[in-house]
Amino acid sequence: MGEEVIIIPVMFLTIFGIVYYYLITRNKERLALIEAGADAKLFKSNTSNNWHIVIVLGMLAIGIALGIGLGFIVDRSMEMGHENDGAYVFGIFLFSGLSLLASFFLIRKVKKLDKE
């Protein structure tokens, strides 16, 4: 039982360590560039082009939720003594793929409208 309890804190400590290392390294790089006389425009990110990531992740989450719902419906509609775990996996992959495909076409349509 001791191994299961230690996995979660180790996982969170690992994620914290990676984020901490990234932030400290980024800060040191920025300070070195500022000391060298680099322009501050290097630090500004272009967030106007990152909106499509939000659409993809949102639609992916909706697809996963619909897949779990489909798996639940199929699992409940089957006979009571037989567990059908494959319905969940099938539903999640089916609706995740459909949502990613739909987000691709949605983003393409929005980009086309922006160009006009």
Domain check: are 29 and 50 in the same one? Answer: no
- Let me know whether 50 and 35 are in one domain: no
Count how many domains the chain has: 2
Q: Is 21 exposed, middle or buried (0-12, 13-18, 19+ CB in 10 A)?
A: exposed
More confident of the two residues 56 and 115: 56
pLDDT > 60? residue 1: no
The percent of residues above 70 in pLDDT, for the chain, comes to: 85
State the average pLDDT for the chain: 84
Same domain, 39 and 82: no
- 2 — pLDDT class (breaks 50, 70, 90): low
Residues recorded for the chain:
116
Same domain for 53 and 36: no
- Residues 64, 38 share a domain: no
Helix (H) or strand (E) holding 67: helix 51-77
State pLDDT tens for residues 49-71: 677 888 899 999 999 999 999 88
Q: What percentage of residues in the chain have a pLDDT greater than 90?
A: 35
Q: Which residue type does 10 have?
A: V
pTM for this prediction: 0.56
Task: Based on the fold, state whether residues 73 and 37 are members of the same structural domain.
Answer: no
Contact (CB, 8 A) for 52 and 107: yes
The verdict on 53 and 104 lying in the same domain is yes
Domain that holds residue 116: 46-116
Q: Are residues 6 and 59 in the same domain?
A: no
